[in-house]
């Protein structure tokens, strides 16, 4: 090395996919923060466009109506893992997009191919602009959005473990009804025609059922560091 300067770590694009309740968001944010990478929650973008549709009175049961306005809202995602921000037409929607109303409608909006094309384009441009590299979490990142990602990870967990975690997040939620809702969402996401929830052939599967969050984070950090060292 000239002047004894350390060579900066090569940029690395990490795709983390998996269903709800597997620890995906917590893991992705922590890994990005630990390794100095940008972070993108793609689910928040789909929630954001769903929030916009609901707020503007678009008929969520009509794919044609959804498709017609898919290009209208301006969605801007911050990529700081310690404070991921998201705005729609200049309005901070980080809180509103987590409501039950949005959660119950996001699968229907996400299934519309025009919506997916719009959001996928947005996600690819954000990943391309992330100089140090980025951790992108979602459901179709390794298969559709970033098929050339340096590292693909697919997090899984038993329905019971996922329901327990998610009902813990949603204070006072019933574990059984949460489990049913998660399985219903899985079925909708896995069976949609456009970019279904699926594990990429070259993804590393990590079952988080019996792991603490810290163990999952350490596992993923190790995988990323190995990938960076090999670049």
CA distance 205 to 17: 9
Query: What value does the CA radius of gyration of the chain take, rounded to a whole number of Å?
Result: 18
Residues 73 and 49 sit within 8 Å (Cβ to Cβ): yes
DSSP string of 195-219, one letter each residue: S-S---TTPEEEE-TTS-HHHHHHH
Tokens of 70: 């898919």
pTM score: 0.86
Strand partners, 205: 154
Average pLDDT, the chain: 90
Contacts for 220 with CB less than 8 Å, ≥ 6 apart = 14, 16, 27, 31, 153, 206
CA distance 69 to 201: 34
Task: Give pLDDT, residue 204.
Answer: 95
Q: Among 32-41, 48-57, 68-77, 165-174, where is mean pLDDT lowest?
A: 165-174
Strand partners, 28: none
pLDDT tens-place string over residues 160-219 = 888 787 666 665 567 777 778 777 877 777 777 777 777 899 999 999 999 999 999 999
Dihedral angle of Cα 154, 160, 162, 167, to the nearest 10 degrees: 170
| Choice between 181 and 57, residue whose per-residue pLDDT is larger | 57
pLDDT of 1 > 60? The answer is no
pLDDT of 2 > 60? The answer is no
pLDDT of 106 > 70? The answer is yes
């Amino acid at each position: 090395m000239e002047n004894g300067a350390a060579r900066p770590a090569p940029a690395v694009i990490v795709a983390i996919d998996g269903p709800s309740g597997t620890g995906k968001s917590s893991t992705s944010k922590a890994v990005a923060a630990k390794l100095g990478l940008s972070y993108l929650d793609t689910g928040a973008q789909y929630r954001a466009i769903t929030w916009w549709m609901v707020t503007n009175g678009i008929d969520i049961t009509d794919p044609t109506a959804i498709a017609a306005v898919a290009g209208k809202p301006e969605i801007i995602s911050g990529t700081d893992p310690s404070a991921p921000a998201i705005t729609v037409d200049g309005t901070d929607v980080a809180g509103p997009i987590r409501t039950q109303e949005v959660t119950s409608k996001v699968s229907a909006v996400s299934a519309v191919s025009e919506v997916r094309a719009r959001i996928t384009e947005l996600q690819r441009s954000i990943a391309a602009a992330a100089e140090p590299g980025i951790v992108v979490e979602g459901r179709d990142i390794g298969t559709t959005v970033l098929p050339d990602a340096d590292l693909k990870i697919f997090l899984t967990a038993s329905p019971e473990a996922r329901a327990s975690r998610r009902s813990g997040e949603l204070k006072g939620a019933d574990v059984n009804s949460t489990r049913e809702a998660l399985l219903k969402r899985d079925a909708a996401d896995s069976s949609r025609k456009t970019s279904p929830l699926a594990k990429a052939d070259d993804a590393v599967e990590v079952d988080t059922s019996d792991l603490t969050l810290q163990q999952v984070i350490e596992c993923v950090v190790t995988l990323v560091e190995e990938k960076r060292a090999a670049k």
